[in-house]
Amino acid sequence: MTKPLRVGLAGLGTVGASVVRLLVQDRELLARRGGRAIDLVRVASRTFKPDIDLGGASFDTDLGSLDTPDVDVVVELIGGEGDAGDVVETAIAAGRHVVTANKALLAGRGNELFAAACRNGVALGYEASVAGGIPIVNALHKGLAANRIEALAGIVNGTSNYILTAMEEDGQDFAGALAAAQRLGYAEPDPTFDVEGIDAAQKLAILAALAFGTGIDVAGVYVEGIANVDVEDIGYARELGFSIKHLGIARRREDGIEARVHPALVPESELLAKVSGVMNAVMVHGDAVGATLHMGPGAGGMPTASAVVADLVELARGTLPVPAPATAELPSLGLAGVVCPHYLKIPAIDQPGVFAEVADVLSRHRISIEAVIQRPQAIRSGEAPWVPIIILTDEVAETEVEVAVAELGNLSGVSGAIARIRVADLSAMMLGP
């Protein structure tokens, strides 16, 4: 009879407890699926949790207890880079397979860890590290293996999507929507990582490396979070036929990889515009298949455990691959060379001639105007009453719009900061050069 796959688990928190539950409760089903038993033999974590049924596995507070010949695969669910990195590194060096949900670790040290796994001939499963329960790593690795991936774009941070959805659907401001997300447990007490786009950038870097066969380069991702999105912008975007989403976009270009994370106006006709709440979704364009959309819960104990355990089943079957070395040395381009339409909100002093000045600046930078909204009733009173002018531009290069916005800000008729949000025309982007 085939030997069981012996699992050592590090971390008994939200995801770890759910993994234990699946491994213990669904033992027989998973054995059938994997072609052999998947036995949880050891658990190591900081705190013993008497309420969790470990199904006979031993418990230790020492993470070193997993470094033993009776463990075939170490599942790392601690988080962070320090101890988690040591656990993963030790396991790989000892010739043990690893499964992890830790995007921060992969974003920081993934290249080194994948290279070590490759050298040692062990698998490194990371399905759970991106977009929680969505099997996007598997899709890119297997289902889309016949394709040259041209572009991918997605909502990969559930917290930001929850906040933007609450702002759009309930008219809450950013602070109110964030507080609601925190009350519901969708946002951490310190939400920086999510709302500033760092978490999304890490996930995008991991996906881009897989899609384009490059190394992981988080530093090469342009990052902008959602904290500056105003509920008023969401309203105007809606009038113009768009929803504002926080997107991660990666595209293969001739000269390298464009990778960026920022709020974007998404046409309401696009499926991504309809992805609401904490859901995640990733759109992938392959040269053979065209556009595909992968959607599901991006976080939570059980959805994430679903991805972790799927990696274990693959490992039991012998189909979880040993990482291959990166095949392409493509430079990260960040935002350089990006050309797209823009949404601009310009605070214009309520006096004749300001719109003409604005139009003149845009025209000198060869920026065409697609749509304008200016409502006298939107006037803000004060020493110098002003009114927002909303402009939707045609496609314009990043460098050009930056200079134009700086010039607009210097006009005497403009009384404050100009809001600028990129438009993601996904259909064009997926088909574009």
Contact 141, 210 (CB under 8 A): yes
* Furthest C-alpha separation in the chain: 86
Contact flag: residue 23 with ligand NAP (CB under 6 A): no
Report if residue 13 touches ligand NAP, rule: CB under 6 A: yes
- Give the residue at shortest CB distance from ligand NAP: 13
Q: Are the C-beta atoms of residues 16 and 40 closer than 8 Å to each other? A: no
Q: Which of 8, 11, 34, 388 forms a contact with ligand NAP (CB under 6 A)?
A: 11
Rounded Cα–Cα distance for residues 418 and 414 (Å): 9
- Min dist. Cβ of residue 300 to ligand NAP (A): 5
Q: Are 305 and 311 in contact (CB under 8 A)?
A: no
Q: Chain-centre distance of CA 289, in angstroms?
A: 23
Helix (H, G, I), strand (E, B) or coil at 262: strand
Among 5, 73, 75, 78, binds ligand NAP (CB under 6 A): 78
* Residues 16, 8 contacting (CB under 8 angstroms): no
Q: Is 12 in the site for ligand NAP (CB under 6 A)?
A: yes
Q: Distance of CA 138 to CAs 58, 134, 264, 431, Å?
A: 31, 9, 27, 23
Is 75 one of the binding residues for ligand NAP (CB under 6 A)? no
| 46 touching ligand NAP, by CB under 6 A | yes
Q: Which of 30, 38, 45, 338 binds ligand NAP (CB under 6 A)?
A: 45
Q: What six digits make up the tokens of 69?
A: 């010949």
Which one, 158 or 286, has the nearer CB to ligand NAP?
Answer: 158
Strand partners, 247: 262
Whole-number Å distance between alpha carbons of 347 and 260: 27
132 binds ligand NAP (CB under 6 A): yes
Q: Is 83 in the site for ligand NAP (CB under 6 A)?
A: yes
In whole angstroms, the minimum distance from the beta carbon of 24 to ligand NAP comes to 17
Our finding on whether 110 is near ligand NAP (CB under 6 A) is no
Cβ-in-10-Å burial (0-12, 13-18, 19+) of 61 comes to exposed
Tell me which of 7, 9, 16, 260 binds ligand NAP, using CB under 6 A. Answer: 16
H/E segment holding residue 83? helix 82-93
Rounded CA separation 425/402 (Å): 19
Catalytic residue at 203?
yes
277 in contact with ligand NAP (CB under 6 A): no
Catalytic residue among 103, 203, 245, 345: 203
Query: In the range 296-335, which residues lie near ligand NAP by CB under 6 A?
Result: 299-300, 304
- Residue 379 CB-half CA count within 13 A: 10
Q: Which of 41, 66, 101, 344 binds ligand NAP (CB under 6 A)?
A: 101
Per CB under 6 A, the list member of 22, 39, 54, 79 interacting with ligand NAP is 79
Work out which of 30, 122, 123, 128 binds ligand NAP, going by CB under 6 A.
128
> Do the beta carbons of residue 366 and residue 431 sit within 8 Å?
no
Positions touching ligand NAP (CB under 6 A) are 11-16, 45-47, 63, 77-79, 83, 101-103, 128, 132, 299-300, 304
Which residues are the active-site residues? 203
